[in-house]
Structure 1
Amino acid sequence: MRRTAVLTLAAALGAGVLSASAAQAETAALRSVMFVGNNWDGTATIVDAVTHEPLRTIDTIPDRDARMTEILTHPDKLAFYLAINQGVGEGHDQYTDDMFSTPDGTLVAVSRPSFADVVGIDLATGSIVWRFPMEGYRADHMAVSPDGTRLLVSDSTANKVHELDLRTGVKLREFASGDTPHESNYTRDGSRIFHASIGRVYTPVDRPELGVAYDTEKGERVFQIVDNATFAVTERWDMGKELAEAGYLGMSSAVRPMAIAPDERYVYLQVSFFHGFVEFDTQAPDPTVTYPGEPTVGAVTRVVPLPDRTNGMPREQYLLDSAHHGIAIDRTGTTLCVAGTMDDYAALVDRASGRYSILDVGAKPYWATDGPSGDECWVSISGDDRVAVLDYATGQQVATVPVGDHPQRVRPGVITEDALAS
């Protein structure tokens, strides 16, 4: 009798309910995770985004032998490979930089600086599905479109950003950057892209007292907004000049990581050598415009210093010019999370007042990003091979997760339960 009633009810509800049930089953098969890129290992640790439990480690360089053969037989590629190892990599190869998964949780794209490429890796089998080589000699940060279909990757030495189809790795478009393109971020609706270049952070000329020589050696460093429909650069600023106009002289033009406020008007920027961050209003009228071609809007509204705990360390010893490298903002837009790279701390900063609390998380924090809920900040502790999870509401560290050698980028994503079990 009970079975008959169930069948009758199913027939009455019809195909719409069955479709909804199928969709729910598909959703239930996905696990919300954080991908942690272990740069020097050539691996990525997959961590449960809710329980903070390490679930699995994947190999991001299964084709290492083939890539090394290619590098060793091309003198130009070998020269850059060695330079990356000794310079940017601090004596290590850079195998795993950035990662984003497809919405169905079956594939993850990984940028690999030392191999100058991006690969799509099947999460069930670990095999490489597609590979996109850079036009230049190093791959860096990436970004994924809000719908999860398109991928941006910075081509460090080609001074451009490629747009790829995340599922296939096919190139779709590109836009120009300054010297050493770095981070990109989409707006929530995907209509715009915030992008910055950092210049030649590996050069030894690190003091502004050198004047023209310093500026020339570091190259063009810009912060820009790109229209996603046309890929045209709609606004472009030299942040060093913007800071000088606001009364902050001698600060770098190199914009490092950034955090975009929920209103997408204010952006919080880290710049080279500065312990703290800059608040930039992208819509403020610019009264200093003197000739055609300059941005008509945009102004520095605040500079928030944080403690310098380097005890007089020379600027030349800062890691790739970074005082701080990693900044995120919670879902409410009230608290910023800062990775104090050279200071060995993470800071939670009240956005309105600038008041902060310092957490001694370990050696060389190198990235900060929100978890899927926006209530937690995940900070990679690259010197200690672990990740710290901070609770925005309580201001406390709620978890520490052991990972691989030299974790850098941490990104939220999904993986199917089948792929996890395979």
Structure 2
Amino acid sequence: MRRTAAVALATALAATGVTVTASAAQGDAGGAAGGRPSAAPSERLRDVMFVGNNWAGTATVVDAGTYRPITTIDTIPDRAERMAEILSNPDKLAFYLAIQQGVGEGHDQYTDDMFTTPDGRMVAVSRPSFADVVGIDLASGAIVWRFPMEGYRADHMGVSPDGTRLLVSDSTANKVHELDIRTGEKLREFASGDTPHENNYTRDGERIFHASIGTVYTPLDRPEFDTTKGERVFQIVDNDTMQVEARWDMGAELAEAGYPDMSSAVRPMAVAPDERFVYLQVSFFHGFVEFDTQAPDADGATTYEGEPAVGAVRRVVPLPDRTDGLPREQYVLDSAHHGLAMDAAGTTLCAAGTMSDYAAIVDRETLAFDIVDVGAKPYWATNGPDGDECWMSVSGEDEVVVIDYATAQPVATVPVGDHPQRVREGVVARDVLRAWK
């Protein structure tokens, strides 16, 4: 089925030539992304976790302190309107069906990424199958604004440290849009490689760590076909100018470090507190890569702009492969692992072993690890508000497992909706919470 779905997507492409502390929405808690804006007094906001149920078209709001679901938000209240639009447009219909059968594993992809506004009254949601981002009023459930992609699919997002600006990856347009999170107005953009994916701000908001993953939906998964996957780059973007200040082909960097035939596709990442070291998952690899963004390049290479190149692979960290010889072609979208976070202290990593059904809690210095069995297809890892717990979506179980970094033990299992993927910290205004009840 995987091969058939990949052919369908390729055909479509060819045819169209919660704790009660005062924190606000932040970027991927895997590292330096995000930050906590001092938007309002703590008595007016409540920290929660948003869980995007991708196939259901909902988001479960969970109390981060009690781990109890508070409510479920409909992220596709305009489904009838969107479907009428898609069915009347041949190229949109082709991509909709291809996304459903390929990337969605036979399901629509309705809810990908989510971030709340600093006042806790709205949540922005990227919706891959509808190729857009919408701002949803948390009290009424109504769509306040909508931003359509230039291409045919929306993906991962990122939010600025002050919570006002949103980045969204436009999968087939090979760019990232910057939006005003309150209005959905486009502000700026920057260029990416093929299939832009992950976006993370530094804590001061001056730089953006971004990666593209290429055509993960094709069946050409052998190393000898790697070049067919497109341009896949890890890059650092200057937020003042939206210009790429550094760019690496991670497959080439790994080969230079003595690890040939590894993929260039950077998946989720975790940025260390010093924002020099970045921990990267790459396609097909059970484990992660430690990359030093400031190390001098050994061979004296230059960047594409002619500046002296820096950056080097420091360590490659293998973790258990429990797939029992499963062919690479059967990995979900090339993901051996998909989900990586780092605790607030910067000492411990939490990796989602997607194809091996575990979470790995890894000491950053010694690389000693503990394996936590979480169930089928864990798909994302992020931190709770205090940064001492890892929240991991387990998409095959329709659950989120919360793991204590210090003990490497699960502290809660939270039932959510159909196929949870992204989990993000957010805030909700307390009068909105009262209205939900």
Q: Please give the TM-score of this superposition, normalised by the length of structure 1.
A: 0.92
**Distance of aligned partners of 1:106 and 1:310 in 2 relative to their CA distance in 1, 3 Å threshold:** same
Whether the 8 Å CA contact 2:213–2:267 is kept in 1: the answer is yes
* Greater C-alpha Rg: 1
Judge conservation of contact 2:301–2:309 (CA < 8 Å) in 1.
Answer: no
Give the corresponding residue for 1:335: 348
Moved more, 292-301 or 389-398: 292-301
Mapping for residues 13-412 of structure 1, pairs under 5 Å: 26-208=41-223, 210=224, 214-290=225-301, 293=304, 296-412=309-425
Q: Secondary structure at the match of 1:342?
A: coil
CA distance in 2, matches of 1:311, 1:331: 34
CA distance in 2 between partners of 1:53 and 1:30 (Å): 17
SS at match of 2:355: helix
Q: Which runs of 5+ in 1 are unaligned?
A: 1-22
Q: CA RMSD in A?
A: 1.2
Partner of 2:11: none
In 1, the alpha carbon distance for the partners of 2:292 and 2:317 equals 14
Change (3 A) 1:167 1:75: same
Return the offset for 1:362: 0.6
Greater RCO (Cα-Cα under 8 Å, separation 6 or more): 2
Provide closer, same or farther for how the CA distance between residues 292 and 173 of structure 1 changes in structure 2, counting only shifts above 3 A: closer
Contact 2:251 2:262 in 1 (8 A): yes
Residue 91 (structure 1) shift: 0.3
CA distance in 2: counterparts of 1:216 and 1:83, whole angstroms: 22
- Which digits, 9 at most, give the CA deviation of each residue in 1:311-344, with x for residues without a partner? 0000000000000000000011100000000000
Identity %: 78
Match of 2:270, SS state, is: strand
Change (3 A) 1:421 1:251: same
What is the rounded CA distance, in whole Å, between the counterparts of 2:397 and 2:220 in structure 1? Answer: 29
State the Cα distance separating 1:304 from its structure 2 match: 0.3
Q: Which amino acid aligns with 1:148?
A: G
Residue 8 of structure 1 corresponds to none
Structure 2 regions of 5+ residues with no counterpart? Answer: 1-37
C-alpha separation between the residues in 1 aligned to 2:180 and 2:416?
29
- The one-letter code sitting in structure 1 at the alignment partner of 2:232 is R
Cα offsets for 1:4-50 (capped at 9, x unmatched): xxxxxxxxxxxxxxxxxxx9995312110000000000000000111
How many angstroms does 1:348 deviate by? 0.1
Cα–Cα, structure 1 residues 312 and 134, in superposed 2: closer, same or farther, change >3 Å? same
Distance of 1:165 and 1:140 partners within structure 2: 17
Query: Residues 72 and 397 from structure 1, CA distance in 2 versus in 1: closer, same or farther, beyond 3 angstroms?
Result: same
| Distance verdict in 2 for CA 1:291–1:284, change over 3 Å | closer
Distance 1:234 1:84 in 2: 32
Any conservation in 2 of the 1:142–1:184 contact (CA below 8 Å)? yes
What is the CA distance between 1:290 and its match in structure 2?
Answer: 3.9
Residue type at the aligned position of 1:262: P
Contact preservation (8 Å) 1:150, 1:163: yes
Deviation for aligned residue 1:353: 0.7
Secondary structure class of the residue paired with 2:72: strand
Q: How many angstroms does 1:194 deviate by?
A: 0.3
How much does 1:291 deviate?
Answer: 5.3
Give the partner amino acid of 2:218.
Answer: T
Give the deviation of 1:215 after TM superposition.
Answer: 3.3
Shift in CA distance, 111/24, structure 1 to aligned 2, threshold 3 Å: closer
2:26 matched residue in structure 1: none
Compared with structure 1, are the counterparts of its residues 89 and 263 closer, same or farther at alpha carbon in structure 2 (3 Å cutoff)?
same
Q: Residue deviations 1:65-105, cap 9 Å, x none?
A: 00000000000000000000000000000000000000110
CA contact (8 A) 2:303 2:309 kept: no
SS of alignment partner, residue 147 of structure 1 = coil
Please give the per-residue CA displacement for 1:138-175, whole angstroms capped at 9, x wherever unaligned.
00000000000000000000000000000000000000
Shift of 1:421: 2.5
Quickly say closer, same or farther: Cα 1:286–1:41, change in 2 above 3 A.
same
Q: What is the identity, as a one-letter code, of the residue corresponding to 2:327?
A: P
Q: Distance in 1 between matches of 2:416 and 2:158?
A: 23
Counterpart CA distance in 1 for 2:293 and 2:163 is: 26
Query: What whole-Å deviation, never above 9, does each CA across 1:79-135 have from its counterpart, x for those lacking one?
Result: 000000000000000000000000110000000000000000000000000000000
Q: Distance in 2 between matches of 1:49 and 1:354?
A: 28
Structure 1 residue 292: Cα displacement: 6.2
Does the 8 A contact of 1:56 with 1:420 survive in 2? no
Q: Following the alignment from structure 1 to structure 2, what is the Cα–Cα distance between the partners of residues 408 and 415?
A: 21
Cα shift at 1:417: 1.8
Distance in 2 (CA, whole Å) between partners of 1:143 and 1:279 is 22
